[in-house]
Amino acid sequence: MHNQNTSRNDVAHKPRLISYFLNDKAILGKAESFAYNQIIISFVLSKADNPFQLTTLGDWSCDADYVIDAETTEIITRLKKSGKKILVAFGGGSVPHNMYASLAGHETKIANEIAKFIQTNQLDGVDIDWEDSKAFVTGQPYNAIDFLVKLTDSLRTLLPKGAYIISHAPQPPYLSKVSSMNGYLAILEQAGPQIDQLNMQYYNNPPWSANPKLIVETYLNYITYIKNFDPKNIILGFPAQKQDAGSGYMPVEQIINEVIYPIQKEMPIGGLFNWALKHDEDGKWADAIAKAIFK
């Protein structure tokens, strides 16, 4: 059994409560009073005709100089004043395999664009939402491990630790010892100290989806074999509502009683996130989770 109070770091540990925003700026504005301590604006991604120029996807936009539209900027300013960290997600499930292949070998170049976007808009960091599972399995037409390590290292050079947050959003098989997609084990071994948190997508990923016993078992086992990364910085992610994912939805009470509490009996929990903010329109999901993890 892992003791919850084994070190000063454990005592000082602050769980993260995160929501991803894609659409509905009215709810984004309301989130100023919600219990989240991070909001991740989704997504920035490479333009189809120029992979080294960024564009946005979702209910917000930026101009050619990467300045976010005035309405969204005003909301972000209020959210930051309320004490929330605001990150931007790079990637997402819509990015095609060949787009990442075109970026591979040019990690510093695309990192410069991402950092420029963050610094132009005074954001707090970036979430790398890479979902090109095929590249882990085949190793073709680019080395995904090498790409993600070099991208992370390049971003950290531009976005110093302590001043900016770098997170990644892997799926559970990416950290499974028995999966052919487990490239994140090597990524963490090589670049783990450069990564502040992992936002694990425990949805759309059977057999983990809506399987609290397996989720808890997996989370507790990470501490035994992940190298160069503190499992307390792993955040568990769930759909806010059924319509937010193809699989993996659990009512918030089930998440608290069957996932959060069992983990907390064994070790500190890194925190939770949901996809997506649009479907926690009154902040009740956040309030319930906050009561369970902020003790």
pLDDT of residue 12: 57
Tell me the backbone φ, ψ of residue 73, rounded to 5 degrees: -60, -40
Residue 295: its pLDDT value, please?
Answer: 78
Residue 87 backbone class (left: φ over 0; alpha: ψ -120 to 50; beta: rest): beta
How many Å apart are CA 49 and CA 278, to the nearest integer?
30
Query: Under a CB-based contact definition with an 8 Å cutoff, are residues 77 and 83 in contact?
Result: no
What are the helix (H) ranges across 82-240? Answer: 97-103, 107-120, 133-138, 144-158, 184-191, 212-225
Instruction: Specify the pTM.
Output: 0.94
What pLDDT score does 233 carry? Answer: 97
CB atoms within 10 A of CB 62: 19
CB count within 10 Å of CB 3 equals: 9
Q: For the domain 8-293, what is the CATH superfamily, name and number?
A: Glycosidases (3.20.20.80)
Residues of the chain under the 70 pLDDT cut: 1-12
Contact 290, 38 (CB under 8 A): no
- For residue range 132-155, what is the model confidence (pLDDT) as tens digits? 999 999 999 999 999 999 999 999
CA angle 146, 147, 149 (to 5 degrees): 65
Distance CA 10, CA 184 (A): 24
Alpha-carbon distance of 86 to 83, in angstroms, equals 10
Sign of CA dihedral 189, 263, 205, 239: negative
